[in-house]
Structure 1
Amino acid sequence: MERRVSTCTLNIDDVKVYCEYILNGKPPIVLIHGFVSSTYTFNRIIPLLENHFSIIALDLPGFGRSEKSTKFVYSYENYAKLVAKCMNYFQLDDASIIGHSMGGQIALYTARLVPDKIKKLVLLGCSGYLKSANRLLIYTSYLPLFNTFVKRSVNNKSVKDSLRNVFYNHSYITDDHVKEFERPLKDKNFPKSLIRLLRHREGDLPTEELRKIHTPTLLIWGEDDTVVPLEVGQRLSEDLPNAELITYKETGHLVSEERPNEISNHILNYHFSGITAE
Structure 2
Amino acid sequence: MSHKIITTDLGSMSYQIEGNGPAVCLLHGFAEDNQVWHNCIPTLKNNHTIITPNLPGIGASTIVSKEAISIDTMAKSINDILVAENIERAFIIGHSMGGYISLAFAKLYPHKLLGLGLVHSTAYADTAEKIGTRKKSIEFIQTHGASAFIKTTIPNLFYDIEVSKNAIIQQTFIGDAIEANTLVTHYLAMIDRKATVEVLQQCKVPVLFVIGKHDKTIPFLDSLQQSHLPNTSFVHILNSSAHMGMLEQPALFNEILAKFLQDA
TM-score interval w.r.t. the shorter chain? 0.7 to 0.9
TM-score by length of 1: 0.82
User: Which residue does the alignment assign to 1:193?
Assistant: 182
2:199 aligned with 1:181: no
> What is the distance in 2 between the residues matched to 1:54 and 1:78?
24
Residue of 102, 109, 126 corresponding to 2:121: 126
TM-score by length of 2: 0.86
Residue of 137, 141, 159 corresponding to 1:168: 159
How does 1:89-100 map onto structure 2 within 5 Å?
89-100=84-95
How does 1:1-278 map onto structure 2 within 5 Å?
5-13=1-9, 15-24=11-20, 26-71=21-66, 73-131=68-126, 150-155=141-146, 157=148, 159-173=150-164, 174-183=166-175, 185-187=176-178, 190-201=179-190, 202-274=192-264
Displacement of 1:148 after TM fit? 8.3
Structure 2 unpaired stretches of 5+: none
Displacement of 1:200 after TM fit? 4.3
Displacement of 1:177 after TM fit? 2.6
Displacement of 1:119 after TM fit? 0.5
Contact 1:10 1:17 in 2 (8 A): yes
> What is the distance in 2 between the residues matched to 1:55 and 1:77?
22
Across the aligned residues of Structure 1 and Structure 2, the Cα RMSD in angstroms comes to 2.9
> What is the distance in 1 between the residues matched to 2:255 and 2:8?
33
> What is the distance in 2 between the residues matched to 1:9 and 1:132?
36
SS at match of 1:176: helix
Contact 1:32 1:100 in 2 (8 A): yes
Contact 2:33 2:174 in 1 (8 A): no
* Closer/same/farther in 2, CA of residues 156 and 192 from structure 1, 3 Å limit: closer
> What is the distance in 2 between the residues matched to 1:73 and 1:132?
24
SS at match of 1:96: strand
* % identical equivalent positions: 23
